[in-house]
Amino acid sequence: MSWQTFTLSIEDKIGHLQFNRPEALNTLVPELWSELPRAVRQLDDAGTVRALIISSTGKHFTAGMDLSAFAALAPERTRGEGRARSEIMEVVRRLQDSFTCLEQARFPVIAAVHGGCIGGGVDLVTACDLRFATTDAFFSVHEINLAMTADVGTFPRLQKLIPEGIAREMAFTGERLHAHRAAAIGLVNCVLDDRGGLLDYANGIARKIASKSPLAVWGSKQMLNFGRDHSTADSLNHIATWQSGMLDLDDVQRAVAVQRSGEPHDHEDLAPRRGLGDEG
């Protein structure tokens, strides 16, 4: 399938989604907000992709939400005040869902960031599992500079990834957080010299992930996401419940055999997701 706002390729069970509107600084146009979750869910439903890399082209990873996308936030003047405002709330929720799909995917998502990651870009990358950056990368909660409060996912995720004081500084000032400081506080895992090295490194990590049991990787992602939002006691109960139903001893035996022999082995794919009307 072809997409308007990015290219999507799959090689060796690793997906690579690359924004391809460099002339417009890869701003987040309305089409992207519908295309991205559709593409991610298609990959997830198939069950064959083990990791997804999100990268970009041109000067910036993304300059944030395109001005055309703001039109959807304007209240409908022909409706009553309450109904118009409720429509805005639903639009924001749909925008939020466009990036929440990255957390919900059964495979890890890796953000490979170069240049500016601005506004909605921060919403996007904080929903990813791993973040790598080039030395010229920077992150900005730019919404405050537009007299807005960031609303698509930055705040609930960013303040759990970095110290709260720095998250508040970014939120209140809109100033840039440059790559090396982002690495020092844990927003990005590491910093690479250039885009070529960035993609090579991201692909190397993706290949390591792809070599593991996708069921165990999915379980690990589930536990990390759940533990972030719940107490230790709830998280322990959740992993016990998951393990009682999802532990695959065949996968364990194969992994042990690989450890002993040193010979690579490709684990079975996850089962495809089926709709209620699907047969078989």
Task: Say which CATH number the domain at 205 has.
Answer: 3.90.226.10
Domain extent for 225: 214-261
Report the alpha-carbon distance of residue 159 to residue 142 in Å, rounded.
16
Q: Does residue 100 share a domain with residue 71?
A: yes
For residues 79-108, give the mean pLDDT.
90
Read off the pTM: 0.93
Q: Does residue 227 share a domain with residue 200?
A: no
Look at residue 243 in the predicted model and tell me its pLDDT: 94
Q: Is residue 156 part of a domain?
A: yes
For residues 96-107, give the mean pLDDT.
97
Look at residue 240 in the predicted model and tell me its pLDDT: 97
Q: Does residue 120 share a domain with residue 17?
A: yes
Q: Residue 275: is its pLDDT beyond 80?
A: no
Q: Is residue 165 part of a domain?
A: yes
Q: Does residue 251 share a domain with residue 170?
A: no
Q: Does residue 226 share a domain with residue 203?
A: no
Q: Residue 12: is its pLDDT beyond 70?
A: yes
Q: Does residue 246 share a domain with residue 174?
A: no
DSSP secondary structure letters along the chain: ---SSEEEEEETTEEEEEE--GGGTT-B-HHHHHHHHHHHHHHHHH----EEEEE--SS-SB--B-GGGGGGGS--TTS-HHHHHHHHHHHHHHHHHHHHHHHHSSS-EEEEE-SEEETHHHHHHHTSSEEEEETT-EEE-GGGGGT----SSHHHHHHHHS-HHHHHHHHHH---EEHHHHHHTTSSSEEESSHHHHHHHHHHHHHHHHTS-HHHHHHHHHHHHHHHHS-HHHHHHHHHHHHHHH--HHHHHHHHHHHHH----PPPPPPPP--TT---
Q: Does residue 148 share a domain with residue 37?
A: yes
Q: Is residue 266 part of a domain?
A: no
| Residue 22 confidence class, pLDDT cut points 50, 70, 90 | very high
Q: Does residue 218 share a domain with residue 117?
A: no
Q: How many domains would you assign to the chain?
A: 2
Look at residue 265 in the predicted model and tell me its pLDDT: 79
Look at residue 264 in the predicted model and tell me its pLDDT: 78
Look at residue 137 in the predicted model and tell me its pLDDT: 98
Q: Does residue 81 share a domain with residue 28?
A: yes
Q: Is residue 241 part of a domain?
A: yes
Q: Does residue 150 share a domain with residue 74?
A: yes
For residues 97-110, give the mean pLDDT.
97
Q: Does residue 179 share a domain with residue 83?
A: yes
| Residue 173 confidence class, pLDDT cut points 50, 70, 90 | very high
Chain mean pLDDT for the chain: 93
Tokens of 181: 């400081």
Chosen domain end from 151, 177, 210: 210
Q: Does residue 245 share a domain with residue 225?
A: yes
Q: Residue 280: is its pLDDT beyond 60?
A: no
Q: What are phi and psi of 116, to 5 degrees?
A: -80, 135
Contact yes or no for 67/29 (Cβ under 8 A)? no
Q: Is residue 30 part of a domain?
A: yes
Look at residue 277 in the predicted model and tell me its pLDDT: 60
